[in-house]
Amino acid sequence: MDFQTYAILNGPVIILNMVTIAFYIFCMVRPLHGEKIKQPLKLLLWTLIGSTIIYIWSGVMMAFFYLSAVKIKITQSFYLLMVCSVFNSMTSSVWLNFFYCSQIVPAHSALFTWIKKNVKSIIYVFWITERIYTLLDFTSVFLHLTDLNVSLISNNFTMVYDMPEKDFWKGFKEKMFWIVFYTVKTHFVFCLCVMVMSSGSIVLYLCGHMRRMTANGQLVSSPRFRNQVRVTVTGLLQGALYVFSASWTFYSPFYEDGFRNIGQTMINSIVINLYMTATLFNLGAGQAVFRQRAAHIWLRGAECFKAPQVQQTDQGA
């Protein structure tokens, strides 16, 4: 893939994402009617927004350095930052779905009762852990790509098994890279299980709840039930996006050819772009803080356009 095709495919979508992010930040800073967003929802939403900002910034910088014919390793570093940002976005969407599951589905076991009581602490622990190993992931792959000057290592550094200094450092980098690499893969599988269990639990509960309401002659159009259905639908869509992106990272040369072949790098970044864009709009449809503000702006705009027409009608009469 040439750079012109890459820019045509990604450019308009990136601009749309930037406008959407600016609107989301405004909604987070100035929510409608001054309502405060509770934790851990606020943390997860800011993580999703921040990950998308880092992704866009990294993509722009990657394209800039590529056009400037700078060393390929700088371009690869920004590509790596893009990959880490999409990983953060994917895991945050999983815990967002898990949080809504704990809020919607009633507890029927001691384990789930404990989870509902401690859901905030659970999400905080996983959030901190994921940020730590994301940093390790970035560091290990960066070292894997960069030719370090091993002569700067102290001569007092103790070698193991009398291994030469250069070979020891190279072996250490390789082991660190593959340990973190398989840790990320394992974590993806774990998050996939959490996503499936959360979405499945919500769907089973709402289906059963709908049948009970229908049997009792109750209406299934209450605002709370509609909100629960909306969260379920957006959660299922996000789960499908997660499966697609996780499958791509598993079966595509995301780390290897993606860092060595600029064409593969562009293809991977397009896939990331599609995932991040779909996640942004899915977030807007599922979160009341964004949806209500958008509806408010729409109504205010409609009133502004209707007012001149009313005045013209009065003058004509």
CA distance 245 to 294: 28
How many CB atoms are closer than 10 A to CB 8? 10
Query: What is the rounded average pLDDT of the residues 229-240?
Result: 84
Specify whether the CB–CB gap between 270 and 10 falls below 8 A.
yes
Least confident range from 130-134, 247-251, 289-293: namely 247-251
Query: What is the rounded average pLDDT of the residues 9-37?
Result: 84
Burial (CB count within 10 angstroms: exposed 0-12, middle 13-18, buried 19+), residue 67: exposed
Q: What percent of the chain has pLDDT over 90?
A: 10
CA distance 116 to 254: 37
CA distance 8 to 174: 37
Reading the block at residue 218, the tokens are 């109750």
Residue reference for tokens 């005045």:
311
Quote the pTM value. Answer: 0.81
CA distance 30 to 270: 32
Average pLDDT, the chain: 76
pLDDT band at 160 (very low <50, low <70, confident <90, very high): very low
pLDDT band at 170 (very low <50, low <70, confident <90, very high): low
Assess whether pLDDT exceeds 70 at residue 195: yes
Element (H, E) at 110: helix 110-117
CA distance 293 to 305: 19
Query: What is the rounded average pLDDT of the residues 76-91?
Result: 82
118: CB partners within 8 A, 6+ apart: none
pLDDT: which is higher, 147 or 217: 217
pLDDT band at 137 (very low <50, low <70, confident <90, very high): confident
Specify whether the CB–CB gap between 239 and 97 falls below 8 A.
yes
Q: pLDDT of 27-75, one tens digit each?
A: 888 887 767 788 888 999 999 999 999 988 888 887 777 677 655 667 7
How distant, in Å, are the alpha carbons of 131, 153, 247, 266, 267 from that of 1?
Answer: 33, 40, 22, 7, 8
- The answer to whether the bond into 164 is cis (omega within 30° of 0) is no
Assess whether pLDDT exceeds 50 at residue 149: no
pLDDT band at 95 (very low <50, low <70, confident <90, very high): very high
How distant, in Å, are the alpha carbons of 83, 181, 212, 294 from that of 78?
Answer: 9, 18, 53, 33
Three-state SS at 35: coil
128-132, 288-292, 304-308, range with greatest mean pLDDT: 128-132
67-81, 144-158, 178-192, range with greatest mean pLDDT: 178-192
CA distance 12 to 270: 12
CA distance 306 to 300: 10
Three-state SS at 40: coil
Task: For CA atoms 81, 179, 95, 197, give the dihedral sign.
Answer: positive
pLDDT band at 157 (very low <50, low <70, confident <90, very high): very low
Query: What is the rounded average pLDDT of the residues 274-300?
Result: 85
Look at residues 309, 283, 195, 284 and name the one whose alpha carbon lies nearest to residue 245.
Answer: 195
Rg of the chain on CA atoms, in Å: 24
Assess whether pLDDT exceeds 70 at residue 79: yes
pLDDT: which is higher, 18 or 149: 18
Query: What is the rounded average pLDDT of the residues 165-187?
Result: 69
Specify the pLDDT at position 314. Answer: 45
pLDDT: which is higher, 193 or 256: 193
pLDDT: which is higher, 150 or 45: 45
Look at residues 102, 143, 144, 89 and name the one whose alpha carbon lies nearest to residue 282.
Answer: 89
238: CB partners within 8 A, 6+ apart: 93, 96, 97, 195, 279, 282, 286
